[in-house]
């Protein structure tokens, strides 16, 4: 009898406990949107953070919760992936201009000679925290390759001849990892441009013209020639440094021609047509005075 009573009590306690757990689960149930998993499946799973969210799962959750996809874009997947996301969510994908990373430093080994040698950990972040760099320009590339290590797509590498990073625009996804990794802020995301044509000032030196030119012969000296030449108000000068707004630039290349230090770069443009030679003015023909014959009076 005691055993039977014990069994009944245990069964009752178990039933009550199960009922309480069931009610608690219903009370605190977190309903997950099934579309989040569907969106995550079409994302590239690069987890680069270029979308502004912590990984692809965070981006998928943000898309599913949003009322519109405006301002939401996966730089790795591009328009194709965003169209798939829009189909899943029953929305329209917002248009976004393709972007690409641009290196805004033109101080190669010839233009920016070394003044000292860095003998420490090969990290731009560490070098920048210790001193201004191996050259007279305290704004330029440190050359340790933090941007290369940060890129998950093999889209950037160091050129051993120039000592500067170079971007492979075919591989670049504009995730922004290299931009965040550079302590000198010389890498910028810019519009890829029609036919991948871009014009930008490849310099971030804010020193006065004479100081900047002494440190690097390719530096922007803030002479304002490009500002005066631009007819579209795409160029501004602040802190002795020119900057081209890619949203206003019409790619006319007029500013490139007038830059005395060649700090303004043009990429993927066709070769310029040679300017027609102006024929030299012909010297005016001079007519010598005709000598008059002297008449001798006859006797």
pLDDT in tens, 49-95: 888 888 898 999 989 888 888 888 888 888 889 999 999 998 888 77
Helix (H), strand (E) at residue 65: helix 55-65
Tokens at residue 212, please?
């900047």
Q: How many CB atoms lie within 10 A of CB 91?
A: 17
Q: Which residue has the tokens 């929305």?
A: 91
226 is in an annotated binding site: no
Low-confidence ranges of the chain (pLDDT < 70): 29-31, 278-299
By the 10 Å C-beta count (0-12 exposed, 13-18 middle, 19+ buried), 287 is classed as exposed
Whether the CB-CB separation of 125 and 133 falls below 8 Å is answered with no
pTM, rounded to two decimals: 0.75
Q: Which residue has the tokens 């502004």?
A: 52
In this prediction, residue 299 carries a pLDDT of 43
Choose the CATH number for 99-267 among 3.10.105.10, 3.30.70.20, 3.10.20.30, 3.40.50.300. Answer: 3.30.70.20
Would you call 277 helix, strand, or coil by DSSP? coil
CA distances to 95, 140, 220, 255 from 247, in Å: 15, 25, 21, 16
109 is in an annotated binding site: no
Whether the CB-CB separation of 186 and 105 falls below 8 Å is answered with yes
DSSP characters over 82-127 = HHHHHHHHT--PPP---EEEEE-----TTTS-BSS---S-S-HHHH
In whole angstroms, what is the distance from residue 16 CA to residue 10 CA? Answer: 10
In whole angstroms, what is the distance from residue 83 CA to residue 55 CA? Answer: 19
In this prediction, residue 14 carries a pLDDT of 86
Sign of CA dihedral 247, 252, 258, 260: positive
51 is in an annotated binding site: yes
**What phi and psi, each to the nearest 5 degrees, are found at residue 50?**
-65, -20
Q: Where in the chain is the domain with CATH 3.30.70.20?
A: 99-267
151 is in an annotated binding site: yes
In this prediction, residue 198 carries a pLDDT of 95
Specify whether domain 34-89 bears CATH 2.40.128.
no
Q: Where in the chain is the domain with CATH 1.10.15?
A: 34-89
Hey, what's the torsion of the CAs at 147, 148, 154, 158, to 10 degrees? 120
In this prediction, residue 285 carries a pLDDT of 56
Residues in the chain: 299
203 is in an annotated binding site: no
In this prediction, residue 145 carries a pLDDT of 95
56 is in an annotated binding site: yes
In whole angstroms, what is the distance from residue 22 CA to residue 278 CA? Answer: 93
Whether the CB-CB separation of 112 and 141 falls below 8 Å is answered with no
124 is in an annotated binding site: no
259 is in an annotated binding site: no
- Write the DSSP symbol of residue 196: G
In whole angstroms, what is the distance from residue 243 CA to residue 121 CA? Answer: 33
């Amino acid at each position: 009898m005691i055993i039977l009573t014990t069994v009944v009590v245990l069964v009752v306690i178990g039933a009550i406990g199960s009922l309480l757990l069931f009610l608690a689960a219903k009370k605190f149930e977190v309903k997950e949107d099934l579309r989040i998993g569907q969106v995550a499946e079409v994302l590239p799973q690069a987890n680069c953070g270029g979308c502004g969210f912590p990984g692809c799962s965070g981006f998928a959750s943000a898309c599913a919760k949003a009322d519109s996809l405006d301002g939401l874009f996966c730089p790795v997947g591009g328009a194709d992936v965003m169209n798939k996301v829009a189909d899943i969510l029953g929305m329209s994908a917002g248009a976004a201009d393709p972007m690409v990373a641009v290196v805004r430093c033109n101080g190669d080994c010839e233009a920016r000679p070394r003044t000292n040698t860095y003998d420490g950990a090969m990290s731009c972040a560490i070098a920048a925290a210790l001193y201004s760099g191996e050259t007279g320009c305290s704004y330029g590339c440190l050359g340790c390759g933090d941007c290369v290590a940060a890129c998950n797509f093999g889209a950037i590498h160091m050129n051993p001849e120039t000592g500067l990073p170079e971007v492979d625009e075919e591989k670049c996804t504009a995730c922004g990892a290299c931009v965040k990794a550079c302590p000198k802020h010389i890498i910028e995301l810019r519009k890829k441009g029609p036919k991948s044509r871009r014009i930008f000032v490849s310099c971030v030196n804010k020193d006065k013209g004479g100081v900047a030119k002494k440190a690097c012969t390719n530096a922007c000296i803030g002479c304002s020639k490009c500002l005066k030449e631009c007819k579209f108000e795409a160029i501004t000068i602040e802190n002795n440094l020119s900057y081209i707004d890619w949203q206003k630039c019409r790619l006319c290349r007029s500013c490139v021609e007038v830059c005395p230090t060649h700090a303004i770069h043009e990429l993927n443009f066709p070769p310029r047509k040679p300017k027609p030679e102006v024929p030299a003015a012909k010297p005016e023909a001079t007519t010598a005075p005709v000598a008059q014959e002297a008449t001798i009076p006859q006797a």
